[in-house]
Amino acid sequence: MTIAVLPGLMPESYRRHALHGDTAAWPEKNCYADLWIGFLHTLGLEPLALMPFTVAVDFEGDQWTFFKPSSDELRSLYGIDVQELTVWRPLLEHAKEHLAAGKLIATESDAFWLPDTAGTDYRRSHTKTTILMAELDVQAERLGYFHNAGYFELQGEDFRQLFRLDAPPDPAFMPFFAEVVRIDRLVRHNASELSDLSFELLRRHFPWRPRSNPFSRFAARIAQDLPGMREQGLAHYHQWAFASVRQAGAAFELLGANLRWLATQGYPELSEPAECFDAIGQANKTLILKGARSVNSGKPLNADEMLQAMGADWEKGMGLLAPLVA
């Protein structure tokens, strides 16, 4: 028997939001932000309204902020309630109960068993990621789930491994973090209400922006770490780049997209700072490729001007925003 929270949703008919489209600089942002973009879009809600929190992303020393929307903002914007799931029994038992009650489960998972990661992690690398379970058929061993930029299905061995059905009892096993997502109190604000709520979130997050230019600190750390990255090779570089360049690029792409959306919803003055953050998103796409070539070849990175330009765009964008959100 199939338990479907969103009846009729199928991978072959799923339509991506523009944030996940071919024109996006970063079609995949990070696993947690991505599942909300896809899920909200599927519900007919606008995920762009959720993105003001990206104005506060910072370079943390060994990574950029792994940005995640808060449960409070999901509730205030859309009426979606997110609570931690206490995984006190097998995850499959929780999934059967909660999906049958019309709730979804967001859970950390091993990408080794997620077929949508074919070509990267699927059956090749054990990597932690997060999925949103939306449909379950225990008899058919099939799961429908949101992950990264799409909606997918897995079955058979992948199903059994994901839910540890073939694993022997292990008292040392620590379950992955999981959340219950309730959508029985959805709120559908009209466009004007939603944009006003989103702008208010921008005002609330803006004071939490970095106190100093994060790209100046990022540039200094790259210069310090690059020799070691060359020694450790491309595999290490890709891990570093995911935690740093990709998070910075994707976050500022989302910030620019939020500001451009707000500019069409009654806040036209936000279009100018949006251009600054769009430029940062695009520049990081170039940086991640230049970095890979430099690590692989041992040649100089030659990214000083690019990083200085990102820092200048950050300063300009924040400077333009300051009087608008005061």
Give every CB contact of residue 44 below 8 A, 6+ residues apart in sequence.
188
Give the span between the Cα atoms of 26 and 47, in whole angstroms.
16
Give every CB contact of residue 226 below 8 A, 6+ residues apart in sequence.
294, 295, 301
Share of the chain above pLDDT 90, in %: 98
Domain membership flag for residue 61: no
Whether residues 13 and 130 fall in one domain: yes
Share of the chain above pLDDT 70, in %: 100
Domain membership flag for residue 266: yes
Contact status, residue 107 vs residue 133, Cβ threshold 8 Å: yes
Range of the domain at 287: 191-325
Q: What is the mean pLDDT of the chain?
A: 98
Total domains present in the chain? 2
Domain membership flag for residue 264: yes
The pLDDT assigned to 65 comes to 98
pLDDT (mean) for 146-155: 98
Beta-strand pair 104-110/178-182: antiparallel
Contact status, residue 25 vs residue 253, Cβ threshold 8 Å: yes
User: What pTM did the predictor assign?
Assistant: 0.96
Whether residues 145 and 220 fall in one domain: no
- Of 118, 150, 182, the last residue of a domain is 182
The tokens describing 291, both together, are 């970095």
Q: Is the pLDDT of residue 111 over 90?
A: yes
Whether residues 33 and 169 fall in one domain: yes
Contact status, residue 104 vs residue 132, Cβ threshold 8 Å: yes
What are the distances in angstroms from CA 76 to CA 73, 187, 216? 5, 9, 35
Whether residues 167 and 316 fall in one domain: no
Domain membership flag for residue 76: no
Give the span between the Cα atoms of 272 and 267, in whole angstroms.
11
Domain membership flag for residue 72: no
Whether residues 119 and 169 fall in one domain: yes
- Of 182, 210, 238, the last residue of a domain is 182
pLDDT bin (cut points 50, 70, 90) of residue 26 is: very high
Beta-strand pair 150-155/2-4: unpaired
Whether residues 172 and 24 fall in one domain: yes
Whether residues 239 and 165 fall in one domain: no
Contact status, residue 294 vs residue 301, Cβ threshold 8 Å: yes
pLDDT (mean) for 264-273: 98
Name the H helices within 53-190.
71-78, 91-100, 157-162
Q: What is the pLDDT of residues 270-310, one digit of tens each?
A: 999 999 999 999 999 999 999 999 999 999 999 999 999 99
Domain membership flag for residue 218: yes
pLDDT bin (cut points 50, 70, 90) of residue 41 is: very high
The tokens describing 230, both together, are 């060359």
Domain membership flag for residue 49: no
Q: Is the pLDDT of residue 206 over 90?
A: yes
Closest CA to 37 of 237, 7, 28: 28
The pLDDT assigned to 160 comes to 98
Range in 83-92, 118-127, 165-174, 201-210 with the lowest mean pLDDT: 165-174
Q: What is the pLDDT of residues 163-197, one digit of tens each?
A: 999 999 898 999 999 999 999 999 999 999 999 99
Whether residues 26 and 152 fall in one domain: yes
Buried/exposed code over 261-293 (b: 16+ C-beta within 10 A; e: otherwise): bbbebebeebeebbebbbbbbbbbbebbeebee
Whether residues 131 and 40 fall in one domain: yes
* Total count of residues recorded for the chain: 326
Q: Is the pLDDT of residue 70 over 90?
A: yes
Buried/exposed code over 72-105 (b: 16+ C-beta within 10 A; e: otherwise): ebbeebbbbbbeebebeeebbebbeebbeeebbb
* DSSP label at residue 213: -
pLDDT (mean) for 119-142: 98
The pLDDT assigned to 312 comes to 99
pLDDT (mean) for 132-149: 99
Domain membership flag for residue 60: no
Enumerate helices (H) and strands (E) in the chain, giving the number of each: 10, 7
Buried/exposed code over 223-234 (b: 16+ C-beta within 10 A; e: otherwise): eeebeebbeeee
Whether residues 165 and 291 fall in one domain: no
- Of 132, 165, 182, the last residue of a domain is 182
Strand, helix or coil for residue 88: coil
Whether residues 117 and 202 fall in one domain: no
The pLDDT assigned to 169 comes to 86
Give the span between the Cα atoms of 192 and 184, in whole angstroms.
23
pLDDT (mean) for 12-38: 97
Whether residues 167 and 202 fall in one domain: no
Q: Is the pLDDT of residue 253 over 90?
A: yes
